[in-house]
Structure 1
């Protein structure tokens, strides 16, 4: 830390100094910070002063603590940092999972059909359509709130139910998006081990008494692709009934694009629950709405915050999305995309298996490949011309791996990629 120029004698001075070092590039995202005692000795201050500085930074989402893994600068701190260099021309980006290109022809037709109605638009049935969409999956809600992104939806729910410092049970590893929202809200994620069928019931039951909220992904978990089946859903419901005071949030990051049935977890009479369904993977960020269902209090709180503090979704976007959801051409294209994702996912899993490499994913446009050191593996694959994503491990013993998007993979690329993964794991 001395070489990073960190200084200060009060907690605010130390936290500001660390933040400045990150902004100026002297401390890089992911950099490990000294222990509280080591930094206190270096700055000649009390350990409680450094502990307070670290707590301030954690609450702002600038640093994160990983048990025996120590305290590190968060990979995506909410402050301006030096821009990342552009990708080299020979590197293929396998991190992207959105499919707005597939919907573009239907979007063009929808906009053409809307042109005559935009001057004096009639009522939009988007909320009613989304309520029925939830009900078709067994989620009974008195209403929905529609927001501009899944991240915003999750942020609004957490803000309505929790306070900074609250502990939240979340699947481990988790997604970049999930980790961002938790850390930026000053919440403490508590890892829950997962397998191919979602959160392991015993692991969830052990930590439920210690948390204020629990986030569960019924299908298409990012990054592992796990899917909760009816048996696992029943087991989780039984465990959650023993902790009625815990807020339950169901996170559906892929929505219909998951291509598998949705198993609801929340009991209808649970005091505090919500379900977030994202349409961003289908329609892209500009039209990628998210819908929130939930108990009456949660829905009312979120709606009130949106009306008073947020930027309500524009009427034009609402109308376009409503038309897309009702348009048969969109449904046909999305069904084709889901089938294509499935075949590409299975093809990559098969190529990896043929080379003795374990991988899995039950849904979604990605495959999860466990590795002992994900940072080293991503770096070595980058050198071979592949940019892949990882999960966001929440603890020192968290499962590490590569999340490889199949959205842009063809047969030849799949075989080459599998060969390169084998070389990386053998190195």
Structure 2
């Protein structure tokens, strides 16, 4: 399973060189099922570098939840004939039905230009890049190449979350996203206004280090 761009939580994005390397690796294992999750469609300006076709079995899924609203609960997908047929078969075992009204709403959004994906992507990108720059100026390492999230390594994950909450900022602890990497927190830039950037960066810089020593009398 590969998220080609706007990876959650780090914002990682496949470049042309990395995509070519992965295609070579996958081509040596044609029996692997490749699933590509392009949930970032409509909210990122970086081009999609798909890996589809490098293996015999593949699917590319493009949801609309991030770009147009989570209540839509709709995704389009394509793939090789056997994989598509298997997905359709699994749907028949469950409800097997997606609201026609919601489908028509998505088609309307796609075909009428009701939402400008470039404007949306630029808005997220400006906030994300501004936050990464502000953190760098404060000596804080941060990652956020695409999408709406910024990943910040911290010394003490639980302490950082608590200190930021005390300062008025709610962030996601990194434990739910990581396997072998160190402690970190995820910041989501979608609700930020330009005036929020500096104060959030100050709060993160204060929270990212070790917890202050305590003494008890």
* TM surpasses 0.5: yes
Matching residue within 216, 234, 259 for 2:2: 216
| Partner in structure 2 of residue 298 of structure 1 | 83
| Partner in structure 2 of residue 321 of structure 1 | 106
Q: Equivalents in 2 of 1:375, 1:343: separation in Å? A: 29
Matching residue within 190, 194, 199 for 1:411: 194
Count of aligned pairs:
209
| Partner in structure 2 of residue 153 of structure 1 | none
CA contact (8 A) 1:361 1:367 kept: yes
Tell me whether 1:349 sits opposite 2:135 in the alignment.
Answer: no
TM-fit CA distance, 1:250: 0.9
Tell me whether 1:229 sits opposite 2:15 in the alignment.
Answer: yes
Tell me whether 1:367 sits opposite 2:153 in the alignment.
Answer: no
Write the deviation string for residues 175-199 of structure 1: whole angstroms up to 9, x where unpaired: xxxxxxxxxxxxxxxxxxxxxxxxx
Bigger drift between 357-366 and 280-289 goes to: 280-289
CA contact (8 A) 2:156 2:208 kept: no
TM-fit CA distance, 1:327: 1.1
Matching residue within 402, 421, 425 for 2:185: 402
Return closer, same or farther for 1:393/1:405 CA change in 2, 3 Å cut-off.
closer
SS at match of 2:146: coil
Q: Equivalents in 1 of 2:108, 2:177: separation in Å? A: 39
Tell me whether 1:250 sits opposite 2:36 in the alignment.
Answer: yes
- The CA RMSD over aligned residues, in Å, is 1.7
SS at match of 1:264: coil
SS at match of 2:70: coil
CA contact (8 A) 2:153 2:208 kept: no
Q: Within 5 Å, give how 1:87-126 maps onto structure 2.
A: none
Tell me whether 1:289 sits opposite 2:74 in the alignment.
Answer: yes
CA contact (8 A) 1:223 1:390 kept: no
SS at match of 1:274: strand
SS at match of 2:72: coil
Q: Equivalents in 1 of 2:95, 2:159: separation in Å? A: 41
Q: Equivalents in 1 of 2:207, 2:24: separation in Å? A: 42
Write the deviation string for residues 32-53 of structure 1: whole angstroms up to 9, x where unpaired: xxxxxxxxxxxxxxxxxxxxxx
TM-fit CA distance, 1:388: 0.8
CA contact (8 A) 1:370 1:401 kept: yes
| Partner in structure 2 of residue 279 of structure 1 | 64
CA contact (8 A) 2:56 2:80 kept: yes
TM-fit CA distance, 1:394: 4.6
Instruction: State TM-score, norm by structure 1.
Output: 0.47
Q: Pick the structure with greater CA Rg.
A: 1
CA contact (8 A) 1:393 1:399 kept: no
Q: Equivalents in 2 of 1:272, 1:355: separation in Å? A: 46
| Partner in structure 2 of residue 67 of structure 1 | none
Q: Equivalents in 1 of 2:178, 2:31: separation in Å? A: 24
Unaligned runs of 5+ in 2: 212-217
Tell me whether 1:381 sits opposite 2:131 in the alignment.
Answer: no
Instruction: State TM-score, norm by structure 2.
Output: 0.89
CA contact (8 A) 1:218 1:250 kept: yes
TM-fit CA distance, 1:266: 2.6
Write the deviation string for residues 298-352 of structure 1: whole angstroms up to 9, x where unpaired: 101111222342341122111111111111232x3x3222111111111111110
